[in-house]
Structure 1
Amino acid sequence: MDWIALIFAGCFEVFGVAMLNIYKKRKEWKIIVLIALGFACSLFCLSYAMNTLPMGLTYAIWTGIGGVGGALVGMAFYGESREWKRIGFLAMIIVSVMGLKLTA
């Protein structure tokens, strides 16, 4: 269950970052509420996962999911670069996260 909470924590982080990007364009209070909810849920799930998983591993995986997820959302919805080098480095982050999981 802790690994599922960690995955949800990363997904909520990506949601919060996506809402920040929307807020940059439309300054509405509803978006601020969504940002706060996204990051609050992310930190709640992260703290739940850290009850049994090591802190260093948990934090590294959480930031990896957030970083890769944010970049993928940017590429899919906001026209960010899809250059092969960028995709290659994102793949390295994914492989690194998988390696951390295998060594835990």
Structure 2
Amino acid sequence: MSTSQMLKGILEGCLLSIISKGETYGYEMMEKLNEYGLTMVREGSIYPVLLRLKKEGFVSTVRKQVPSGGPKRKYYRLTEKGYEELEEFKRRWSVISSGVNQLIEEDDTNETV
């Protein structure tokens, strides 16, 4: 399984987490993902996820004029339902990551040849 395949499953939770820190727009989210080392995420791959988050009622959007006078940007913010989904993601991630870490860090002495 490639890194990008693994990442697709957690991208939604990562975006919810970024948006939970304050109203933000797509390119800004990409910069945050890059800051945290998630450089394999392509900008075009986050927009379908953001659209799904909006359809599911986890985020709301508002278009705002940018200070430089360019085109309006779509800003995302979490809804109450979005905060609840983020907490659920954190719970699921904790269980999954803990189990995976235990598996891959297990002492090799248990391995049979």
TM tier, smaller: 0.3 to 0.5
Which structure has greater helix proportion? 1
- Asked which structure has the greater RCO (Cα within 8 Å, sep 6+), the reply is 1
- Give TM-score, length-normalised by structure 2: 0.32
What is the TM-score when the length of structure 1 is the normalising length?
Answer: 0.35
Highest Rg: 1 or 2? 2
